[in-house]
A and B are shown apart, each in its own frame.
Chain A
């Protein structure tokens, strides 16, 4: 079945540690996205990518980094510079970047700080 796979489901980060969240899709989509959800807030865009080897900052990119070396994969690294990383992270993809294409989401990763 086609879809988006995020791993791990739960992740714990120690102070000063970088952690990487995995996102893989087999939908042959060009565009991929990372969103963050905090209690009482809407999903906020961290980074997005239109094509391989290209990505753009979203609204809250500080303290995060991404790569897009393959079409299927869009990993997100939460660096030690992100001072408040505890949140639920959702990866999504769409056929193209254009706004009228519906998003397909993964099941998310809950990141907590030890």
Chain B
């Protein structure tokens, strides 16, 4: 993996069902992984920032796991609700030894639509 990749590109899920999607990234020189939720016509909003291999974070019905050795993170949504409809972005930060040169690399996002 050379870049940050997200799959699937889009997803339709029935209300009440649970779902998950993937962020894959280069495992070398890993420093941090960010997840953001971006609802239509709104600003992207941070969900999680993760740094440790094996880390798991939870916010309400949304949780995320991180595997830095193999270079992936999963985002899970339990019992999907219409308000979960959004694009979910992940972004990886590469370890830099030049302070001030750290930059996030974003994936193209997974667009989630919840069907009532």
Tell me if B107 counts as interface (CB < 8 A to partner A): yes
Chain A residues within CB distance 8 Å of chain B: 4, 35, 40-45, 48, 50, 56, 58-59, 90, 97-108
Alpha-carbon distance between A96 and B109 when the two chains are bound, in angstroms: 25
Q: How far is the CB of B77 from chain A (nearest CB, A)?
A: 19
A–B pairs, 17, beta carbons within 8 Å: A4-B43, A35-B106, A42-B89, A42-B105, A42-B109, A48-B103, A50-B100, A59-B103, A90-B43, A97-B102, A99-B32, A101-B49, A103-B34, A103-B46, A105-B36, A107-B43, A108-B43
DSSP majority for the A interface?
A: loop
Tell me if B13 counts as interface (CB < 8 A to partner A): no
Tell me if B62 counts as interface (CB < 8 A to partner A): no
Scoring A42, A58, A100 by chain B CB atoms within 10 A of each residue's CB, the highest score goes to A42
